Chains A and B, each alone.
Chain A
Amino acid sequence: MPSRLLDLVHNTFRYWSLLPAIVLLLVITVYPALQLLQMSVSTIEFVDGRDVWSFTPGRNIELLLSDPVLPPAILNTIIFVIVTVAVELSLGLGLAILVGRLPHGRGGARTAMILPILVPPVAIGSMWKLMYNFDFGLFNQALDGLGLGPVNWLGSTNLALISVIIVDIWHWTPFVFLILFAAVEGLPVDVIEAAQVDGATNRQITWLIVIPMLRDALAVAFIFRAIFAFKVFDEIYLLTSGGPGTATEVVNLHLYKVFFEQNQLGYGALLSVAFIAAILAFLLVSRRVTRDTTR
């Protein structure tokens, strides 16, 4: 091969060696995203076994703006995200610090802690639905044993959302714990020992040394949990299907109903695009905020 060509190949190798990865990315990410965008401005019907597309952006936007279920779904989603993330971060952090202080058995404690994450979502839904059952559930039987009346966990508009939130907290706190516990284990021991020698109390060490050093891990846990919380679906679908009324309706569940149950593919795609945009915006803002606080 002529030496000039060889030089060219050698100098540009780092660019064209990325080609397979770029092609793969385009195929599995960019192409579906572009098709989703195309769907979001179309109405798709089926005639003679074939899909027929018509360009109807105005119609889909009108549907989005006049959808009566969307506002409560957005509100419930925001409440769900705020409450679950706040509680899971607090509990996860507390548990990570406590387990980190154990002189023995940290490994066993960690293994026990992560059990809820291992349970499949459908099993979680079935299990908790049984426990919340008004007539036969464990919780109401326990309340009955204490001489208290049964509680309408999943059928009361005041309680249904908090009941689902409890399930989410039970399910995902171990995930936050894992991230933070790994960070706790990686904390420099000499800094803490130095603080102890200087006479700092446990409380002062926790709040003024440990937690600040965990900021990066907290930021990671926060972003992961927030994104998952925005996308909550299986717990709501299995426990309440968005009811009673719209008490537990969330955006992802509504999207599922529009797309799969109502078969409104175009409008469902527009909802998806809007939802993705909202999560991306949240992600950008979070990154900015967490970057500023970790400086």
Chain B
Amino acid sequence: MLRRRVVQTLALAAGLITAAPAMAQQPFADVGRQPPITILINSSPWYAGFESTVQLYEKQTGNKVNLDVTPFGGMLEKARNAVRSGTSPYDLLNLDTQWTIEFYSGGFLTPLKDIDPGFDLPAEVLTYNDSGYWNDAKKWRTRDGGKLMTYSPNGNVHLFMYRADLFQGAGLKAPETWDDVMGACTKLQQPGRVYGMVTRGERGNGIRFDWMPFMLGKGATVAKDPENGDFTVVINSPQAKQALDTYIDLMKRCGPPNHGALGQSDVIQLLATGRAAQGMVVVAAWSNFDDPTKSTVAGKINAAVVPKFADGTHGVVIGNWHFGVPRNVPDDRKKAAMAFSKWFLTAGAQRAYLDGGGIPVRKDALPPELASNPKYRWVKAYVDSQPYAKQELGYAEGPQVEQILGLRLNQALIGEMSSGRALNTAAKEIEEVFRRSGRRTGASAALPE
């Protein structure tokens, strides 16, 4: 009897030991059989990671997922056509952060809990300033009184990239402040061969997005308190001017002569070909730098949190994407979309996503020890950036405000007008936009021009 018990216990222990790896690998969701779904997804540096994760989902569950891969320029119109038609051809739409207000306020998406009342975002999932929630009464993206409309498959924030080998050779530490960046630029740039620092300066979304870390770093903003209905325009503040002057100074002294036309692909190209010692790009661009088929500086670039002003804070702008379920989709496909979403947000799926080259949206898929792996040396900067990350232009007039800022900032950068005049002009035009929309708005004192 005793012998039998010992044998049974040993057998059980052996079973547990051999099953442990399998159990540890089971942080996926069992979603059952679902009808095929179609996802509208952008072609991007992180697409390969997403695609491999989808393939894993199909293999594990036997459920089919069709991917309509579309360049960024075509995404918005495809999404609009889908939700404004009789039945959407897509069951999950991938929306850039600046488009979400249009889709939330237009009533084009089904709140996720309306499809699956038991669904909740796992606590580990990053919510990027709650941009997936929509409070329709306040017309604001907030968890407070808001419904969960979307979740992020990708949380793009800026990271500051720098050539670790050049920094080490010059005895420099990773830049913490914009003064550090300027100091490094002065030491490292070689006219005609290596630029000190590059970031976007092209008119439109490019300069708006890449200047805003400077703006946030100085504590400046566009409108006073839009969440609570105060749309007084404050973009032409002394802090915003200092932010703009610093940005322009860096671009002119450290960047290429065509800084007013630099786009994202140009910045990535300059960093990846070793023509830039420092640069600011979104985290999703990382895969370009360590791939020896795309980069001449593979293994030489490190990432840091976006620098701050000596008297300010780190300014990090969020440019995340959002998966939402269109309202005009049959119920069975909505449920299938939710099944995929639940699976995608599990720890196992997010780790697979990371391995495939994606940027996970779960904190536990990005443990600190991961950064000791050279392949994931960007992770610490990404995680450290999160407390500072902010959403901007989260109101219906956002696209118009972006176009105004995108033009006037660019004009200041290329010298068509002074920074003071650019911000005053932008402020006046933005105030006009808010006034026409019926917002409670006003102006600040003009800056000297």
**Do B258 and A157 touch (CB < 8 A)?**
no
- A47 near B400 with CB under 8 A, answer no
- Asked if B257 contacts A69 (CB within 8 A), the reply is no
Q: How many A-B residue pairs have CB under 8 A?
A: 90
Chain A, Cβ-Cβ closest to B107:
A48
Q: Taking the complex as formed, is B76 at the interface, i.e. its CB lies under 8 A from any CB of chain A?
A: yes
State whether the Cβ of B269 lies closer than 8 Å to any Cβ in chain A.
yes
Please indicate the chain A residues that have their CB under 8 angstroms from the CB of B257 in the complex: 134, 150, 152, 155
Q: Verify if A42 is at the interface (C-beta below 8 Å from B).
A: no
Bound complex: CA of A157 vs CA of B261, how far in Å? 10
- Contact A49–B416 (Cβ < 8 Å): no
Assess whether B4 is interfacial by the CB under 8 Å rule. Answer: no
**Which chain B residues border A155 with CB–CB below 8 Å?**
257-262, 414
Residue B436 CB within 8 A of the other chain: yes
CA distance A134 to B416 in the complex (A): 21
Give the interface segment out of B147-155, B175-183, B301-309, B403-411. B403-411
Please report which residues of chain A, range 48-69, place their CB below 8 angstroms from some CB of chain B when the two chains form the complex: 48-51, 59, 63, 66, 68-69
CB-CB contacts below 8 Å: B229-278 with A: 256-262, 266, 269-270, 273, 275
Interface presence of B77 (CB below 8 A): yes
- Whether A245 contacts B411 by the Cβ 8 Å rule is yes
Chain B, residue nearest A135 (CB): B275
| Chain A, Cβ-Cβ closest to B328 | A49
CB pair A157 B269 closer than 8 Å: no
With A135-B275, A154-B258, A155-B258 known as contacts, the answer to whether A243 contacts B410 (CB < 8 A) is yes
A94 CB–B CB distance under 8 Å: no
B45 sits at the interface (CB 8 A)? no
Evaluate contact between A136 and B269: CB separation under 8 angstroms. yes
Residue A262 at the chain B interface, CB threshold 8 Å: yes
Inter-chain CA distance A210–B273, complex, in Å, is 55
Contacts of B436 in A (CB 8 A): 59, 63
- The distance in angstroms between the C-alpha atoms of A68 and B422, with both chains bound, is 13
Nearest A residue (CB) for B265: A129
Identify which of A49, A69, A157, A244 contacts B106 (C-beta below 8 A): A49
Point out which of A59, A68, A69 has the most chain B C-beta atoms below 10 A from its C-beta. A68
CA distance A160 to B203 in the complex (A): 13
CB within 8 Å of A: which B405-429 residues:
407, 410-411, 414, 416, 429
Is there contact, CB below 8 Å, between A46 and B203?
Answer: no
- What mask results when residues 169 to 187 of chain A are scored 1 for a CB within 8 Å of chain B, else 0? 0000000000000000000
Contact B108 A49 (CB under 8 A): yes
Does B356 make an interface contact (CB < 8 A)?
no
Contact of A47 among B107, B258, B327, B416 (CB under 8 A): B107
Say yes or no: is B348 at the interface (Cβ < 8 Å to chain A).
Answer: no
- A244 contacts B203, CB within 8 Å? yes
List of B residues within 8 angstroms of A50 by Cβ: 107
Is A190 engaged at the interface, CB distance under 8 Å to the other chain? Answer: no
A243 in contact with B429 given A150-B257, A155-B258, A157-B416 (CB within 8 Å)? no
Task: Evaluate contact between B77 and A260: CB separation under 8 angstroms.
Answer: yes
B interface bracket (residues with beta carbon within 8 Å of A): 35 or more
- Interface membership of A263, Cβ < 8 A: yes
- Choose among A63, A155, A157, A242 the residue with the greatest number of B CB atoms under 10 Å from its CB: A155
In the docked arrangement, what's the CA distance between A257 and B416, Å? 22
A264 at interface by CB-CB < 8 Å: yes
Q: Is B102 an interface residue (CB 8 A)?
A: yes
CA distance A242 to B204 in the complex (A): 9
**Whole-angstrom distance between the alpha carbons of A155 and B410 in the complex?**
11
What is the minimal beta-carbon distance from B261 to any residue of chain A, in angstroms?
3
Known: A49-B83, A134-B257. A241 touches B202 (CB 8 A): yes
Tell me how far the C-beta of A144 lies from the nearest C-beta in chain B, rounded to whole angstroms: 9
Q: Which of B105, B259, B407, B414 contacts A157 (CB 8 A)?
A: B414
Query: Shortest Cβ distance from A60 into chain B, in angstroms?
Result: 11
Query: Which A residues are CB-close (under 8 A) to B202?
Result: 241, 243-244
Which residues of A sit under 8 angstroms from B108, Cβ to Cβ?
A: 46, 49
**Neighbouring B residues of A133 by C-beta, 8 Å:** 266
Q: What residues on B are CB-neighbors of A51 within 8 Å?
A: 84
Identify which of A45, A59, A150, A263 gathers the most chain B CB atoms within 10 Å of its CB: A263
Tell me, yes or no, whether A76 is within 8 Å of chain B by CB.
no
- List 12 extra interface pairs beyond A136-B273, A245-B416, CB under 8 A: A47-B105, A49-B108, A59-B436, A155-B258, A155-B414, A241-B203, A242-B203, A243-B204, A243-B261, A243-B410, A244-B203, A263-B399
Interface residues of A (CB under 8 A from B): 45-51, 59, 63, 66, 68-69, 133-136, 150, 152, 154-157, 160, 240-246, 257, 260-264
Q: Could you list 26 A-B pairs, sorted by A, with CB under 8 Å? A: A46-B107, A46-B108, A48-B107, A59-B436, A134-B257, A135-B269, A136-B269, A136-B273, A152-B261, A154-B261, A155-B257, A155-B261, A155-B262, A156-B258, A157-B416, A241-B202, A243-B203, A243-B410, A245-B260, A246-B407, A257-B403, A260-B76, A261-B403, A262-B403, A263-B399, A264-B400
